[in-house]
Chains A and B, each alone.
Chain A
Amino acid sequence: MSSSREKILAAAQANKPAQTPLPTIPDFGGDASVERFTQVLGSIGGRVVWVASPQQLVPVLHQLFPEAERIASPLFASSVAVNAQTPTQVLANVDLAVLPGEIGVAENGAVWLPEANMLHRALPTVTQHLVLVLDHRRIVATMHQAYAQLPGTGGYGAFVAGPSKTADIEQSLVIGAHGARSLVVLLY
């Protein structure tokens, strides 16, 4: 153990204030409707598209992304095979990733995407375009409810809310900074 560890812990212990209670966090309820989710996602640059069932994905994708050639997905026979060992050069050329999302959050348009659903941890950001497929019954109102449903966060996982964006140049909003240039949530 390093001496800095001991030093920091000793100082934290010596200098900490008298103990105060840890509050319990209420559920707060809220609007968990598909309408709310759709409206908020739209306001942050994403988009909701309905599919009749997960089996109907492919034709809808062809319609949405007619130009996408290199597609990676665990949901159907895709054109690029990706797994945790896929080299960076292959990942860098993916046009479209279609991944299953787990939980949608109506108040902010975020979708929980655990590592197990990503094929490779970098895929959701390295791909040019991202589609998340979500069961509309898995939409909750707030982040509190989303975390309450998570057993843990696994090795890695992210709430993804819309496409990558930046406003670092004079506060002008630009969609497509480093991550995916567009985000569509396919609801079924």
Chain B
Amino acid sequence: MSHSARAATFVADAERTTWHDETLWFVRQKRDKAVYAVPEFQQLRELASQIKDHTLSRLDEYLQQFEAAARRNGVHVHWAADAQEHNALVLDLIRRHGATRIVKSKSMLTEECHLNPHLIGHGIEVIDTDLGERIIQLREEAPSHLVLPAIHLKKEDVGDTFHRHLGTEKGNHDPQQLTEAARQHLRAKFLAAEVAISGVNFAVAETGGVVICTNEGNADLGVNLAKVHIASMGIEKLIPRLTDLGVFTRLLARSATGQPVTTYTSHYTQPAEGREMHIVIVDNGRTQQLGRPDFRASLKCIRCGACMNTCPVYRRSGGHSYDFTVPGPIGAILSPNIDLKKHSSLPFASTLCGSCTDVCPVKIDIHTQLYKWRQVLAEAGEIPTAKKWSMKFMGRFLASPKAFGLGGKMARTGLRLLPYQLTHATAFNAWAVARELPEPPQQSFRDWYRETVR
């Protein structure tokens, strides 16, 4: 199903669409305020971009440096070429400890690998501990945003979900009380968990340590209470030095939610005494993306979500309409790399207004890449037939001044005479579904020009 077909179900509820749009725009405005408060923000973006470019240009070396340092720290390092291997590795580690109860802190990589269903299928209890993640886990949904996984839900939805699963009072939709209920429910899970799984925000080659940023403290609580910590990281999370963190920690939360920094910026370098720490380094298509000069910059992404909050298409179509782990503009670049056919409509889910590129803290040229994907897709014949033919026709039409002149005249007369039912027949004119046609002028621009400019 195409993005627009899936988005149709979301926009059918006009009120909710408007609310979704406004909520995300509010986050975007908070971002602007936070960003303008830092005089060197543009310089930081440039530095972040250069650090990431440099890291990618020596990725194999930094991976080895990171691995060696982590091993010296007493951390077990594993490598997974794809999602399947990652999941098998994690399950094996869990089984080796005879564990059945797992807490997990937010990780888009484990979502990408579909780790939860894999573990649950093997009889392991997996509890997502980030509040937003827990909410959607209870509802058996996927996250709809990178940073705000339950942004598509209203407090009434959460109230109903908690009433059903956590026994909160029916009709209680108070965010404060619902959060408290989740705190109590999850605290029991934290205290009982044997293994904690986390994602990674940054991996520092120089120290062999990983950095995890959260506001809730769920990663710290889970990891520091459990006997075993398993951190899953994509190879693109690397940065060379500890001092590089100064740049990224200043950019991440400001770009994501407009906060000056996340509440917890935690550095895990060695396991605590008597405990174990494992890092699983995952490729899953990333080295392939590295080999595509036009698209490799997407590997610089630090998953702040700013491009989603600003995207006029994402805000009005909802994260689920993308049907990919990472939705929004950056997801539309990452997904065709994974499955060109399945995600062929995503690079078209953009106005190419460039707002995503403007806010991206690591200066990924998002809208240019979307445009490039469109060309790749057209070449591969992965665009809908109607679009293909109409584009071909338009191209020829616009190339011929005579045809254009005649067409203009026909349109000017036609629009005046044709009945609304015909000009807005959704069967031939999808464009007019939510749009009014312009008032046709009496005169063509050419005629006007001939008369005016002598």
Contacts and interface: CB of A to CB of B under 8 A. Distances in A.
A22 B51 CA distance: 6
B428 to A, nearest CB: 41
Contacts of A107: 38, 250, 260
Given A22-B51, A178-B183, A166 B216 contact: yes
B217 A164 contact: yes
Contacts of B288: 11, 15
Nearest to A168: B132
B290 A15 contact: yes
A163 B243 CA distance: 25
Contacts of A157: 266-267
Given A121-B224, A147-B242, A178-B190, A12 B269 contact: no
Interface string A13-28: 1111111111101101
Given A16-B290, A44-B259, A165-B215, A125 B221 contact: yes
A15 B249 CA distance: 28
A58 interface: no
A48 interface: no
User: Which of A7, A168, A177 has the most CB atoms of chain B within a 10 A radius of its CB?
Assistant: A168
B189 to A, nearest CB: 10
A165 B272 CA distance: 26
A158 interface: yes
B280 to A, nearest CB: 10
Nearest to B155: A170
Interface string A74-92: 0000000000100011011
Contact of A178 (B38, B59, B81, B221): B221
Given A8-B281, A166-B215, A177 B287 contact: no
A156 B179 contact: no
| Number of chain A interface residues as a range | 35 or more
Given A2-B78, A7-B81, A8-B81, A168 B267 contact: no
Contacts of B21: none
Given A8-B81, A8-B281, A158-B266, A22 B216 contact: no
A145 B247 CA distance: 11
Contact of B154 (A17, A28, A170): A170
B423 interface: no
Contacts of A44: 259-260, 263
Contact of B218 (A40, A108, A158, A177): A177
Contacts of B245: 143, 147
Given A20-B57, A179-B217, A88 B63 contact: no
Given A168-B132, A178-B218, 16 more contacts: A4-B283, A120-B224, A125-B221, A142-B246, A148-B243, A154-B270, A159-B261, A162-B263, A165-B263, A166-B215, A168-B130, A168-B131, A168-B179, A171-B26, A177-B217, A178-B183
5 contacts: A8-B235, A110-B261, A147-B242, A148-B246, A166-B216
Which 7 pairs, one residue from A and one from B, show the smallest C-beta to C-beta distance?
Answer: A179-B217, A15-B291, A11-B287, A108-B260, A168-B132, A155-B270, A122-B224
Interface of B: 23, 26-27, 38, 40, 43, 47, 50-51, 53-54, 56-60, 63-64, 73, 78-81, 85, 129-132, 135, 148-151, 153-155, 158, 175-176, 178-180, 182-183, 186-187, 190-191, 207, 209, 215-218, 220-221, 224-225, 235, 240, 242-247, 249-250, 257, 259-273, 281, 283, 287-288, 290-291, 293, 296
